[in-house]
Amino acid sequence: MTATLSSAAPQTLKDYYRILESGTDSYQDGAALRPLLGDHLDFTGSLAGHLPDATDGFLAGVAGFIATVKQIEIIHDVHNSDGSAVLYTATMPGGPMTFAEFFTFNGGRITSLNLHYNGPEYIEKGGR
């Protein structure tokens, strides 16, 4: 399973999605993901709400996603020098669902992430 981004995608995002699909054995405590994130990640998500200093919490939360996702299929991605937007379908234990992620970068690291998805549907389909 490989999430395929367009050739315009920054390497940071290619690495990010590779890690999301790597499985729990590879993810462990998020050591591979941490260098891709700013020290004070500004995160907004459907279940978490807005967390202005969320790097550690995000690393813990994404572990649940990694444990349940079976495949990520990129629908569309758009990039410029300041950020990226990615629309994708993730195959969950209870079926596929759609996510949209909006990223900003600084120095090759993700400094903000705004994640849109249906929170109740995520839980219903086995997300944790």
Which pLDDT score is estimated for 28? 80
Given this model, what pLDDT does residue 24 score? 85
Q: Which DSSP string corresponds to 45-77?
A: ETTTEEETT-HHHHHHHHHHHHHH--EEEEEEE
Phi, psi values for residue 115, rounded to 5°:
-105, 125
Angstrom CA distances, 51 to 79, 110, 121, 127, stand at 24, 14, 21, 20
What per-residue confidence (pLDDT) applies to 1?
52
pLDDT along the chain (128 residues), means of 10: 85 94 86 95 94 93 92 95 95 96 96 96 92
- Per-residue pLDDT at 52: 93
